[in-house]
Amino acid sequence: MDFRQEFIEFALARNVLRFGEFTTKAGRLSPYFFNAGLFNDGASLDRLSQFYAQAILASGIAVDMLYGPAYKGIPLVSATALSLARAGRNLPFAFNRKEAKDHGEGGQIVGAPLAGRVLIVDDVITAGSSVRESVEIIRAAGAAPGGVVVALDRMERGSGALSAVQEVARDHGLQVVAVATLDDLMAFLRQRPDFASHEAAVSRYREEYGVAQTH
């Protein structure tokens, strides 16, 4: 099975991905809900980071190190660095403090110094504000943002015609790697007769709010 389909099965098993009726922050009635914060034990974080590593390696994206924006990105970047090292690609990693430390070693960055092409590791991209802040931090350190990796690309329009992922590509010139996309979710649902009612609802939602394929 393709790792993207495995990831969707895993998210369902952990109740991170659920079907029903959920109101999004944009006020839309979505037939599915994805909450990466529910990958909240050791085993699920370990498995999640393996999927991140697979997605990064499969993308062929050229980066020199990993960066996780506080707070959600901190465990993600740490675990992803471990999984990449196990897979034979050992990369330095760093994350930021929300408040700059004024004692000890000081500074805003914890971990390896930001240098070269830096891959931002996050859970999802919504309005892109977290990405914008990360890009500013990376550039201020004299490094170059090299891309973003997230768990799920909802492939959904924002306030305009583009999705949050497409806006990041347009505004920052960054490649966004997703472990899975809405299209992958729909492919999974089509293969599962027991999810037929959800497949129809997600398909309708995709037609109403979706954007073109992003990878």
If you average pLDDT over residues 121-141, what whole number do you get?
87
Tokens 């490649």: give the residue. 175
CATH of domain 3-209: 3.40.50.2020
Can you name the residues that pair with 144 across neighbouring β-strands?
Answer: 117
pTM of the predicted protein model = 0.92
If you average pLDDT over residues 147-164, what whole number do you get?
92
Measured distance CA(64)–CA(45) in Å, rounded: 23
Q: What is the mean pLDDT of the chain?
A: 92
Please check whether residue 94 is in contact with residue 113, taking contact to mean a CB–CB distance below 8 angstroms: yes
If you average pLDDT over residues 102-112, what whole number do you get?
74
Q: Residues 72, 98, 101, 198: which is the catalytic one?
A: 101
Confidence of residue 115 (pLDDT cuts 50, 70, 90): very high
Measured distance CA(158)–CA(5) in Å, rounded: 26
If you average pLDDT over residues 38-62, what whole number do you get?
97
Please check whether residue 147 is in contact with residue 176, taking contact to mean a CB–CB distance below 8 angstroms: yes
pLDDT recorded at residue 102: 58
Dihedral sign, CA of 118, 121, 127, 129? negative
CA distances from 167 to 108, 124, 159 (A): 27, 14, 11
Q: 172 catalytic, yes or no? A: no
- For the chain, the farthest-separated pair of C-alpha atoms sits apart, in whole angstroms, at 59
- Residue 105 in tokens: 């070693």
Q: Residues 25, 103, 198, 215: which is the catalytic one?
A: 103
Q: 101 catalytic, yes or no? A: yes
